[in-house]
């Protein structure tokens, strides 16, 4: 199976390095997908994770890919090999799962879509290392132990790099981004449900710009 690098697609690491924030969006109305993606892009955020939690998610991914080609679109909340297949069919550049199972890791090893698997423990870290993987979502970041847990994992697992997600916002993101084993942070705070429902794209652009500024110049 060709890797992302073989096919000329950006690697998962390159995608995550675009950050510093990976917006996690759950889209109820596919008509909001394109203006939402444009607002994030206008604010300097060029990667988006659309969770596969709604009936609108697939159409949202299709529309963003078709109408906002500069936006790198991933599929989130991938829980099963079938959903990883769906991510591939939709042309997602990457997939994100909240946890890991051997079955999902097997499917990911055979898929051209790079998977960012979620972990929160040392045992799960070891499961990834057994598979030769070094990038993980750290989920649910705040509830699982926050920056202190990530700092503790850096000792035995110096090769692992994390995208902490879950309970992160503009107020605490910098504390995560300052850690040597954090490549970016994820979160839903860039696209508040009320702003999306009201079509307040200006607010989302402003939130994106502030998020973009969390780590200096473009990476």
Task: Give the residue numbers annotated as catalytic, written as ranges.
Answer: 49, 137
Report how far residue 64's alpha carbon sits from residue 70's, in angstroms, rounded to the nearest whole number: 9
Query: Whose Cβ is closer to ligand 3PG: residue 35's or residue 167's?
Result: 167
Query: Whose Cβ is closer to ligand 3PG: residue 147's or residue 166's?
Result: 166
Sign of CA dihedral 37, 41, 43, 47: positive
Residue with tokens 């073989």: 6
Q: Which of 10, 35, 167, 199 binds ligand 3PG (CB under 6 A)?
A: 167
* 9 CA to centre of own chain: 16
Query: Whose Cβ is closer to ligand 3PG: residue 31's or residue 170's?
Result: 170
Provide the minimum distance between the beta carbon of 30 and ligand 3PG in the complex, in angstroms, as a whole number: 19
Ramachandran region of residue 132, left (φ > 0), alpha (ψ -120 to 50) or beta? left
Q: Does 19 sit near ligand 3PG (CB under 6 A)?
A: no
Provide the minimum distance between the beta carbon of 3 and ligand 3PG in the complex, in angstroms, as a whole number: 26
Site track 121-140 with ligand 3PG (rule: CB under 6 A), x = hit? ------------------x-
Report how far residue 47's alpha carbon sits from residue 4's, in angstroms, rounded to the nearest whole number: 16
Q: Does 206 sit near ligand 3PG (CB under 6 A)?
A: no
Provide the minimum distance between the beta carbon of 152 and ligand 3PG in the complex, in angstroms, as a whole number: 21
Q: Give strand ranges (E) for the chain.
A: 21-25, 47-51, 72-76, 94-96, 115-116, 118-119, 135-138, 161-164, 185-187
Over its C-alpha atoms, the chain yields an Rg (Å, rounded) of: 16
Q: Does 166 sit near ligand 3PG (CB under 6 A)?
A: yes
Q: Which residues bind ligand 3PG (CB under 6 A)?
A: 24, 98, 139, 165-168, 186-189
């Amino acid at each position: 199976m060709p890797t992302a690098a073989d096919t000329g697609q950006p690697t998962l690491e390159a995608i995550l390095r675009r950050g510093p924030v990976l917006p996690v969006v759950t889209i109820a109305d596919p008509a909001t997908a394109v203006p939402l993606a444009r607002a994030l892009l206008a604010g300097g955020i060029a990667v988006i994770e659309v969770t596969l939690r709604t009936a609108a998610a697939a159409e949202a991914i299709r529309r963003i890919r078709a109408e906002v080609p500069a936006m790198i679109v991933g599929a989130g909340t991938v829980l099963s090999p079938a959903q990883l297949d769906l991510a591939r069919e939709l042309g997602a550049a990457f997939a994100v799962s909240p946890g890991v199972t051997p079955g999902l890791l097997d499917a990911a090893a055979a898929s051209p879509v790079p998977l960012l698997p979620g972990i929160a423990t040392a045992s799960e870290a070891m499961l990834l290392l057994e598979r030769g993987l070094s990038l993980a979502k750290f989920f649910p970041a705040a509830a699982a132990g926050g920056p202190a847990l990530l700092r503790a994992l850096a000792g035995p697992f110096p090769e692992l790099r994390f995208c902490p997600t879950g309970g992160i916002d503009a107020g605490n993101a910098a504390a995560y981004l300052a850690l040597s084993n954090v490549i970016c942070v994820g979160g839903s705070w860039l696209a508040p449900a009320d702003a999306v429902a009201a079509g307040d794209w200006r607010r989302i652009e402003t939130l994106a710009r502030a998020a973009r500024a969390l780590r200096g110049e473009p990476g």
